A and B are shown apart, each in its own frame.
Chain A
C-alpha cells in the first residue's frame, strides 16, 4: 500500500549517483593512481561546494512543482549577501558601509538577508500571479535587476571585515547542516501539509485547483517568497563562509540549482518532484565537478558533460510524461 510506483524514480537517481561516484573511483585508480572516494577531505569539499546552491535548489524545487521557474536565485543570493554583510561588519571595520551600524548582534544581518531574499521572491511571485507574465520572464527580470542593485549598493565595492560571530555561521560544517535542515523541513512540508498538497495541485492542474477553492495567486506568491528567502539564506551563508561579500557572488548558481532539481526528477511540467531527488541531484553535480577536477580535466569539459546531463534528464522526463498520456 505504500507509494511503490514512485519509489523507482528516486532509486534510479540514486543509482546514477552511485554509478558516477564509482566510475570516478575506477578512473581515479587508472588515471591518477589514487582513490577518489577514499579521501575524506575531498568529500568534505564536495559537500561544502554544493550546499550553497543546494539551499537555492530546495526553493527552486517548489517553484518548479507549481510548473513555474525561478531564474533569479544567484542574483538574489548576491544582493542578500551584500545587504546582510553591510549590517555584519565588526566594530573595528576599516571603511565601513554604515559606520553607525557596527558590531550588531548576528541575528540582525541574518534577518536582513532573509528579508531581502523574501522581498525579491515576493516580487517574482506577485508579478507571476497577477500579471500572467510567465515566471521565466518575471524571474529573468529579477536576475538582471537584483544583480545590478547588488553592484549599485556599494558602487561595486566588496564588503570586508565581517564580525567573527557572523562568519561563524559559515565555518566548519555549518553550511552543510543548514542545507540539511532546510531540505528536511521542506521535504516534510511538501509531503505532509496543506501547503505541499496545494503546491502539487497547482502544478498538476491549476484550473482544478482554483475550482477546488485554493487561492492560487496567494499560494504562488508564498512559494516564490519561500524560494527567495532560501536564496537570501544561501547569500548569508555564502558571505559568512567567504568572510566577504561581493556583487559577483553566486553567478550562475541559479542554473546549478535548476540542473540539480531537474536531474533529481522534478518535472518541468509541474506537479511532480521531491526534495529528496533534488538533494541527490545536488550531490550528483558535486561529484561530477569534483571528479573532473580530480582527473585534471579542463573546466569547460565539465560544463559540456553537465549540459548533456541536464538535457538528458529533461528528455527522460518528457518521455515519462508522453507515456502517461498514452496510458490515460
Chain B
C-alpha cells in the first residue's frame, strides 16, 4: 500500500450535493508528492466540483480532505491558499490595471517599511524577484512594468501560473490552463508545467485536451457522472481506453475517433 508520508492530498468519500443533484459522489482520490496527475471527464462529470471542494471555493456535503496527513476544512479560497494549495483558474484572477510585479505579489507585497495599511512597498525588490520568477519560465515579457491588461492571453496566463508557482506552494491546481491560448502560447505553458515537475511540485491538471494530458502527467483520473471511474498510469494506457472510460461505452467503439 501507499506510504502515508508520500501522500500530499487524499480525499475520503468526498461528496457534494446541490439540492437533489449529486455533483460528486464518494470520491476517493490520492496524490503523491511530486506527482503530476490529470483529471479528465465529460462536461458535468464532477471535475470542477471536485476542485472547488479542495480549493475551499465550496465546502463538501460529506467526506473528508487530508492535506499533508492532516484532516483539513477550507472555508475560503484564502484558507486553502494559506495551506499551500494554489490554483490557476480558467478566468484569470489578475488585475488588468496593475503591472506584472504588482500582480505577482498582490496580497503579499514586499515592504520597505511596515506601517499597517500605509506600509511602503519595496518596488525594486518586487521587480527583481518578478524578473527571476519569469526568467525561470522562459516567457518573454518585454516590459514588466506594463499593465497586465495590455498583454497577450499567453503572457497573462504565464503571469497567473508564475504567481502560483513562485510562492513555494505545496500543490498547484490548473483548470484548463491552455483552453484560450494559441499553439505557441500553449507550448510555453506546457513548458512551465514540465518545469514544475522537475522542481517536484505536485500538480492537478484539468484538461479536455488528451494529447496534452498524455504529454504532461503521470497518472490520469477519470470522472463520470460525479464518480471516479478510473485511475490509470498514463504510460500504460491509450486515448481509446480513456475515451471509453469518459463516455462509459465499450472499448473499441472509438477506434476511429479522434481524441486529439
Contact = CB atoms under 8 A, between A and B. Distances in A.
Interface in A143-202: 189, 192-195, 197-198, 200-201
A327 interface: yes
Chain A interface size, as a band, is 20 to 34
B93 A197 contact: no
Interface string A124-148: 0000000000000000000000000
A197 B120 contact: no
B111 A194 contact: yes
Contact of B106 (A203, A209, A270, A327): A209
B20 interface: no
Interface stretch (A23-31, A85-93, A97-105, A211-219): A211-219
B117 A197 contact: no
Given A205-B93, A207-B93, A212 B98 contact: no
A112 to B, nearest CB: 24
B255 interface: no
Contact of A197 (B94, B106, B151, B153): B106
B102 A213 contact: no
A213 B188 CA distance: 28
Contacts of A40: none
B100 to A, nearest CB: 12
Chain B interface size, as a band, is 20 to 34
B117 A208 contact: no
Interface string A291-328: 00000000000000000000000000000000010011
B97 A194 contact: no
Interface stretch (B11-19, B139-147, B170-178, B231-239): B139-147
Nearest to A196: B121
Main secondary structure of the interface of A (DSSP, over half): helix
B78 interface: yes
B123 interface: yes
Given A189-B118, A194-B111, A194-B119, A201 B143 contact: no
Which of B93, B99, B106, B118 lies at the interface centre, i.e. has the most chain A CB atoms within 10 A of its CB?
B106
A95 interface: no
Interface in B115-160: 117-121, 123, 143, 145-147, 149-153, 156
B96 A193 contact: no
Interface of B: 77-78, 81-82, 92-99, 102, 106-109, 111, 117-121, 123, 143, 145-147, 149-153, 156
Interface of A: 1-3, 5, 189, 192-195, 197-198, 200-201, 203-205, 207-209, 211-214, 219, 222, 270-272, 324, 327-328
14 contacts: A2-B145, A192-B120, A193-B119, A193-B121, A194-B109, A197-B98, A197-B106, A201-B98, A208-B93, A211-B81, A211-B93, A271-B97, A271-B98, A328-B150
The 10 closest A-B pairs by CB, nearest first: A271-B97, A212-B107, A213-B107, A204-B95, A204-B97, A208-B93, A212-B106, A195-B117, A205-B95, A194-B119
Given A194-B119, A201-B95, A328-B152, 14 more contacts: A194-B117, A197-B106, A203-B97, A204-B97, A205-B96, A208-B93, A209-B107, A211-B81, A213-B82, A213-B107, A270-B97, A271-B96, A272-B97, A328-B151
